Amino acid sequence: METNDKIVATSARQITQNTQYWMLILFGIFLVLISFVFNTPLEIINGQAVILTTASNLTTDYFELANVGATFFNSGILTLHALLLIKITKAKINGSLIAAVFTVAAFSFFGKNLYNSMPIVVGAFTYAWVTKVPAERSLLAALFGTALGPLVNEITFNIGLRLGIGILLGSAAGFVAGFILPPLAHHFVGFTKGFSLYNIGFSSGVVGTIFTSILRATGVVIEPISLISKGNNMQMSLLFFPLFTVMLLYGLYLNSWSLNGYSRMMKHSGQLSSDFVKKNGFNLTLINMSLLGFVALGFVLSLGGELNGPVIGGVLTVVGFGAFGKHLKNVIPILLGVTLIGYLNNYDMSDTSVIIAGLFGTTIAPIAGRYGLVMGMIAGGLHLTVVSNTSYLHGGINLYNNGFAGGFVAALMIPLLEAVHYHREQRREIREPVDPAESISTEED
């Protein structure tokens, strides 16, 4: 096996850190440029003004709030901003950063913007400065922590404060949230044991719940909303299917036009931290990301879903985490579980809330990766039921609601699964005692 792996590594084309970085830059530029296909510059500017100055609690589809062009422009700008932060901190491109960049791009379709992200980013890096650790250590918290962006918009524009006071208090709340997220995220990994990939999503859910509780105690009404667009399936399909095809072809080119090594990648459970770029190379990672893109799009369209802002965000997040824990073998059981339970409980399977529960529910893909198809399907079904009830806790100001719910699912299932696994191993050892002669021989060796 080692010999074969070396042959694959030798035959595959390797690309540098700088090339990987510029590929992500091109992705951001692509998002910006494509915006002008859908709308005029004036429409995009006006749409950006609406996006920046409107409350953006779950689920605020920027396609519907503003327009398609302004949404893509918003996503592209935030993607390039994330890459600028990576450059400033001199971080190396790896699986977690690719996942973070794609997640920023994804949620910029329905909740994140430059205004509500900046206070959180500043807060996270201030934590690094205060604790005298390298800024790179807070980079993931800064990027993923923008999940709480709606908190900034909510306080600034939606609770009746004068604009100046709203900007001050909204920015202060975002700063505090960003400041406390790095230590909380580090702590909560132990809560889920790495079986929920959106660890900062769970941390953000806790922080969001606290902030929402405080605001509600003062008489402020904060509720999740549902602003969803329709009718974009043809346009989005013609955009994203070719994009994932290009990714697949380039990945195959880098991998000498083969899938060599991909089966080895799918042996990883995906449990945090599974950096596929480091473990399997950028070539296979790119192939994996593209294949997950096709599966995610197929999941949406096969259920009759709409390719609106939140759903595209779900697709891009699945693709991004194809570099950091997700692959076909651990994602598909989650999607099957969500679909099965949805049909059994008479959910409207084309509803956006159900579709994104499936896509974002793949946060718990490592459960399927470690414990197999059946447990993965059970996890997916359980996630669908839990996520329907968690958004009220934080009022929709945590965009990673599925990460919040997935944390609870993992925290419930993993201790039980580990206990069953432990006792099975114990019984196996009792049934198959070690030969004393073999034990002595081993000790002598």
pLDDT above 90 as % of the chain: 87
Mean pLDDT of 141-154: 97
Residue 2: band (very low, low, confident or very high) from pLDDT cuts 50, 70, 90: very low
Please write the tens of the pLDDT for every residue from 79-121: 999 999 999 999 999 999 999 999 999 999 999 999 999 999 9
Please write the tens of the pLDDT for every residue from 318-331: 999 999 999 999 99
Please write the tens of the pLDDT for every residue from 19-66: 999 999 999 999 999 999 999 999 999 999 999 999 999 999 999 999
For residue 435, pLDDT over 60 is answered with: no
pTM: 0.92
pLDDT of residue 129: 96
Q: Are 144 and 203 in contact (CB under 8 A)?
A: no
> Six-digit token pair at 152?
């900034």
For residue 442, pLDDT over 60 is answered with: no
* Residue carrying structure tokens 């991909």: 262
Mean pLDDT of 283-293: 98
Residue 190: band (very low, low, confident or very high) from pLDDT cuts 50, 70, 90: confident
Give CA torsion, residues 379, 380, 382, 388, to 10 deg: 150
Residue 224: band (very low, low, confident or very high) from pLDDT cuts 50, 70, 90: confident
Residue 431: band (very low, low, confident or very high) from pLDDT cuts 50, 70, 90: low
pLDDT of residue 437: 46
Residue 11: band (very low, low, confident or very high) from pLDDT cuts 50, 70, 90: low
CA distances from 348 to 56, 231, 314 (A): 25, 18, 18
